[in-house]
């Protein structure tokens, strides 16, 4: 039974980057489409707070669908791995890119067709489950090649895939993630090996995993989601999938995306919400407000030279002559200039909702809401994105930076 599920006040596809959610995300969305690598675990290590947060949101009624671009393990083994990290799960909770790739193959090939599997057991099982026949060499004249991440993949197996592709076999890749996060750092992912085969053959695969729609549609279907939330750590897969499908997203900073990468994100890679880790599902989120001269950055600048300014909480970030810098906003007063709310959702007006009724600077509850350490980064991203969208991107950062922005590049 759900715990106080509050349906969105406007269509999910209309939500903009760094939106406000006065209600905790767990009370707004019915299903979390949860990435794994870099979100729940990193290699053989659990991400701090992940297991606790997942348990807490389940108690509040949110369902979990664990969605992974990693095609190496079958769903049952992924569930066992989650249990080892303290996250109760069964195979039905897991959707992999191997399953999405196998569905793409089944839609294009006759039953029983031979498929050369260039990957691990997860791919072989998925291919068998849809009525196709896994093979290992190009001599078996496969109708297709399916490629997924496998740390034991060697040159000989890649060579067999190259020969089959050059002979005309359909080529499907489970995903094209260039790297995989581990406890030792980022290691080459399936996308790196896909690039190798593409260079060798001159061909390009059909891609099943994020950010393509096949895996997203499979996840929504299996989860029975009406108001899903995509949760992930990668801009080029998780967040891009959300933007393409019009689904709200939560980016967590526990995996591959740094603050600097987020600052430079193009329009197709900007998350709806931002949190340090999965505990961000249990809280409301502040919005950002952006002020720019009429007509964009090409319009007349304000007298103080500020071309774009964005406000989040008690931090304002502004772009002046290509330089991004910050200032603290007084708790009890609004900015002197008019700002436009670019990312508010729901029916709560300024100062209303669960965050409290402080005067603030016009965002919900700024008089009482505590900064989670990311407000300055949210403001910086909103300002940098607005400047970039106006064809005047940030070229330099101020030397003095607030908390959460010290390592920006």
- Map residue 146 onto helix, strand or coil: strand
Catalytic residue among 30, 35, 93, 236: 35
Backbone angles phi, psi at 257, to 5 degrees: -85, 125
Average pLDDT, the chain: 85
Same fold? 12-69+211-282, 98-207: yes
- Map residue 338 onto helix, strand or coil: coil
300 and 276 Cβ atoms separated by less than 8 Å: no
- Rounded to whole angstroms, how far apart are CA atoms 223 and 33? 8
pLDDT-derived band at 306, boundaries 50, 70, 90: low
171 and 145 Cβ atoms separated by less than 8 Å: yes
Domain boundaries, the chain: 12-69+211-282, 98-207, 289-397
Say which range, 9-23, 204-218, 261-275, 340-354, has the weakest mean pLDDT. 340-354
pLDDT-derived band at 404, boundaries 50, 70, 90: confident
Topology at the third CATH level for domain 98-207: Rossmann fold (3.40.50)
- Pairing status of strand 170-173 against strand 206-207: parallel
- Rounded to whole angstroms, how far apart are CA atoms 396 and 174? 38
Task: Mark whether 150 is an active-site residue.
Answer: no
pLDDT at 338 over 60: no
| pLDDT > 70 fraction of the chain, expressed in percent and rounded | 84
pLDDT at 314 over 60: yes
Task: Mark whether 37 is an active-site residue.
Answer: yes
pLDDT at residue 350, as a whole number: 27
pLDDT at residue 4, as a whole number: 42
pLDDT at residue 109, as a whole number: 98
pLDDT at residue 369, as a whole number: 63
Catalytic residue among 27, 37, 93, 348: 37
pLDDT at 307 over 70: yes
Q: Which is the CATH superfamily of the domain at 12-69+211-282? A: HAD superfamily/HAD-like (3.40.50.1000)
Joined tokens for residue 66:
């664990």
pLDDT-derived band at 304, boundaries 50, 70, 90: low
pLDDT at 243 over 60: yes
Other Cβ atoms less than 10 A from the Cβ of 360: the count is: 26
354 and 284 Cβ atoms separated by less than 8 Å: yes
- Map residue 242 onto helix, strand or coil: helix
- Rounded to whole angstroms, how far apart are CA atoms 78 and 355? 38
Joined tokens for residue 356:
């409290």
Q: How far is C-alpha 91 from the geometric centre of its chain's CA atoms?
A: 22
Torsion over CA: 266, 267, 268, 273 (sign)? positive
Other Cβ atoms less than 10 A from the Cβ of 287: the count is: 25
């Amino acid at each position: 039974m759900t715990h106080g599920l509050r349906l969105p006040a406007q269509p999910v596809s209309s939500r903009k980057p760094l939106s406000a959610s006065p209600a905790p995300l767990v009370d707004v969305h019915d299903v979390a489409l949860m990435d794994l690598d870099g979100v729940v675990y990193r290699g053989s290590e659990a991400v701090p707070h992940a297991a606790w947060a997942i348990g807490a949101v389940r108690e509040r009624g949110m369902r979990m669908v664990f969605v992974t671009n990693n095609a190496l393990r079958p769903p049952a083994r992924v569930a066992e791995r989650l249990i080892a990290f303290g996250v109760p799960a069964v195979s039905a909770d897991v959707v992999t890119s191997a399953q999405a790739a196998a569905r793409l193959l089944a839609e294009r090939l006759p039953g029983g067709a031979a498929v050369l599997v260039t990957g691990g057991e997860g791919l072989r099982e998925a291919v068998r489950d849809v009525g196709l026949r896994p093979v290992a060499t190009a001599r078996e004249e496969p109708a297709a090649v399916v490629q997924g991440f496998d740390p034991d993949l060697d040159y000989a197996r890649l060579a067999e895939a190259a020969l089959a592709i050059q002979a005309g076999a359909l080529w499907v890749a489970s995903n094209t993630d260039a790297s995989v996060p581990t406890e030792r750092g980022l290691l080459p992912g399936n996308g790196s090996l896909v690039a190798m085969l593409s260079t060798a053959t001159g061909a390009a695969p059909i891609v099943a995993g994020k950010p393509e729609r096949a895996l997203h549609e499979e996840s929504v279907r299996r989860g029975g989601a009406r108001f899903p939330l995509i949760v992930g750590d990668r801009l080029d897969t998780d967040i891009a999938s959300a933007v393409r499908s019009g689904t709200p997203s939560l980016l967590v900073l526990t995996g591959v995306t740094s603050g600097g990468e987020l600052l430079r994100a193009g329009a197709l890679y900007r998350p709806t919400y931002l949190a340090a880790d999965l505990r961000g599902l249990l809280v409301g989120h502040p919005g950002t407000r952006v002020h720019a001269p009429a007509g964009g950055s090409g319009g007349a600048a304000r007298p103080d030279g500020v071309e774009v300014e964005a406000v989040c909480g008690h931090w304002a970030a502004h772009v002046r002559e290509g330089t991004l810098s910050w200032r603290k906003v007084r708790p009890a007063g609004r900015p002197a200039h008019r700002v436009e709310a670019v990312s508010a959702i729901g029916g709560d007006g300024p100062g209303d909702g669960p965050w409290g009724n402080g005067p603030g600077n016009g965002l919900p509850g700024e008089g009482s809401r505590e900064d989670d350490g990311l407000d300055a980064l949210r403001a910086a991203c909103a300002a940098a994105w607005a400047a970039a969208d106006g064809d005047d991107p940030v070229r330099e950062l101020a030397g003095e930076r607030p908390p959460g922005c010290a390592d920006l590049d």
